[in-house]
Amino acid sequence: MHPVLRVPELQGLEKNIYETLVRRGGNGLSQAKIIQLLELAPSSQSSVSRALAKLGAAGLVEKSGTTRDASFSLTAEAKWFAIPGHLRPQVKYDPDRFGSYDPNVAPWLDPASHALMSESVGKGSLELDPSTYTREIAERFLIEMSWASSALEGNTYSLPETEALIKYAEVAGGKSEIEVQMILNHKQAIGWVIDNIATVEIAPETVMRLHAMLMRTLVRQNNLGAVRRDPVSITTSSYVPSSDHTELSMGLSELCWKASTAKDPFEASFALLAGIAYLQPFIDGNKRTGRLLSNIPLLKAGLPPISFIGVGRAAYGIGMTTWYELADTSHLGKAIAEGYAITAPSYLVATTTKRVPRSVEIRMRRRLDDAVAEYLSQAVASPDLMPSDFARAAFRELEGEDLDVIVQSFADIIAAINELNCVAYGVAPDLVEKYHRVKPGGGAHVGP
């Protein structure tokens, strides 16, 4: 946890000491001076010592000097963030952040965050081509990210209200038109990514298209998907993005090219998330564009998406600020990785329990039923008959992918058939029982 995130948790003496140091510019104070400023009795020295030790452990206070002459001051991070963003020294855009970035040699995603994201999916993966990415999983991602990404922008819609808006066009009472439009824009943009994941590329044109969909009616028409020519400011930070249209265009091209060359999808994802936020290529909507863009490398690699549910708003904000102003990506990486660790496993579980039928399976439904019964009957007499060989002969009029799909589907049915689920294929249980007796390795048994 970033030290500044601990500040709201401070209470009692610890809070009073911290605030005293802030008022004194974070500079070193002796323990005696702290006691004097807080108007405490000399006997409170042990309590102050314990409070200072806790502040030190939290990363907010550091000690210098010997025990007798020790002084206590705010840490560099605490001192930096003790000053409001608009009063901190300005940090101007640095094009070298992109120029010196090499995703395969010096990644932005720190090792600990990368390890957490990798461990969250283990060896599991999703097959996200249009024929295997289930409607339920796509819909869930669409709803969850529409809500979470909008919430990070201050949208007050709840998750159930977002679901009702997306699925049933039910507008929640008391919400602004901007909030409604923000969620509906997310719906369109996320749906476009899912529909085009097999062919979409990490390129400036893709980023511009996403921005246009995400910011529809929320910015002027001439700013939709257009690299800006006007200055922007970040109200919570002292970072000053570039206002040079050419520099922004070049930065966007360089970021996309480097992210597309990343061998690791987690690094590519994080680079796009952090890079778009830093570059600020658009007049508004940069972070939400980066959030959606960051999912493309993951989806193309067959990994669960980042829905941003579980990403703490405060941690995310601190992570962005330390990246903007201090060129430190570790806090942003930690916030993203911790959120991903919450949701990624559930996407994997959901994917393994759901399946979408191929069109050829629907067309051949009756033929499949007949073929299952015929194969089981023949296999009772000829146990060496392989399901795939039988299916290729039974459906020989099919060609190419359709034949491959039917053969695989048929083999899966035979491998899992038992005396209970056989009813789905119109097969008598006693035939399945006979099949298992002669070919015990050929299917799934029921009972001991």
Angle at 176 between CA 8 and CA 139, to 5 degrees: 85
pLDDT for 148: 92
Q: How far apart are CA 313 and CA 184, in angstroms?
A: 21
Average pLDDT over residues 407-415: 92
pLDDT for 45: 86
pLDDT for 134: 43
pLDDT for 376: 95
Confidence of residue 136 (pLDDT cuts 50, 70, 90): low
pLDDT for 185: 95
Which tokens in the block code for residue 366? 């009756």
Task: Please report, rounded to a whole number, the percentage of residues in the chain having pLDDT higher than 70.
Answer: 92
DSSP assignments along 158-214, one per residue: -HHHHHHHHHH--PPTT--HHHHHHHHHHHHHHHHHHHTTTT--SSHHHHHHHHHHH
Q: Give me the chain's average pLDDT, please.
A: 89
Confidence of residue 352 (pLDDT cuts 50, 70, 90): low
**Helical H segments across 68-158, by residue range:** 76-82, 96-99, 111-121, 135-151
Q: How far apart are CA 330 and CA 48, in angstroms?
A: 32
Q: How far apart are CA 398 and CA 175, in angstroms?
A: 54
Average pLDDT over residues 274-278: 98
More confident residue, 351 or 423: 423
Which tokens in the block code for residue 339? 């959120």
Fold for domain 91-353?
Fic-like fold (1.10.3290)
pLDDT for 230: 95
Listed residue (409, 439, 414) closest to 427, CA to CA: 414
Residue partners of 220: CB distance under 8 A and separation at least 6: none
Rg of the Cα atoms in the chain: 29
3-state secondary structure of 76: helix
More confident residue, 33 or 209: 209
**Residue 278: pLDDT over 50:** yes
List pLDDT tens digits, range 170-190.
999 999 999 999 999 999 999
**Residue 326: pLDDT over 60:** yes
Q: How far apart are CA 150 and CA 127, in angstroms?
A: 27
pLDDT for 329: 95
More confident residue, 405 or 208: 208
DSSP assignments along 348-406, one per residue: HHHHHH-----HHHHHTHHHHHHHHHHHHHHHHH-TT--HHHHHHHHTTT--HHHHHHH
CB of 325 within 8 A of CB of 238?
yes
**Residue 426: pLDDT over 80:** yes
pLDDT for 269: 98
DSSP secondary structure code for residue 53 in this structure: H
3-state secondary structure of 6: helix
Residue partners of 310: CB distance under 8 A and separation at least 6: 338, 339, 340, 341, 342, 343
More confident residue, 448 or 301: 301
Q: Phi, psi (5° rounding) for residue 61?
A: -130, 145
pLDDT for 354: 57
Q: Which amino acid is at 276?
A: I
Domains in the chain: boundaries = 3-82, 91-353, 359-438
pLDDT for 445: 44
List pLDDT tens digits, range 387-409.
999 999 999 999 888 899 899 99
CB of 280 within 8 A of CB of 286?
yes
pLDDT for 131: 40
Which tokens in the block code for residue 296? 């493309």
Q: How far apart are CA 201 and CA 161, in angstroms?
A: 33
Class of domain 3-82: mainly alpha
**Residue 448: pLDDT over 50:** no
List pLDDT tens digits, range 10-29.
889 999 998 898 888 878 88
3-state secondary structure of 131: coil
Average pLDDT over residues 331-351: 87
Task: Please report, rounded to a whole number, the percentage of residues in the chain having pLDDT higher than 90.
Answer: 62
Print burial letters for 404-440: b (CB count within 10 Å at least 16), e (below 16): ebbbebbbebbeebebebbeebebeeebbebbbeebe
CB of 389 within 8 A of CB of 371?
no
More confident residue, 275 or 383: 275
pLDDT for 323: 95
List pLDDT tens digits, range 431-447.
999 999 887 554 444 44
Which range is least confidently modeled, 64-68, 139-143, 269-273, 364-368? 64-68
List pLDDT tens digits, range 210-253.
999 999 999 999 999 999 999 999 988 999 999 999 999 999 99
List pLDDT tens digits, range 50-83.
999 999 988 899 988 876 778 999 988 888 888 8
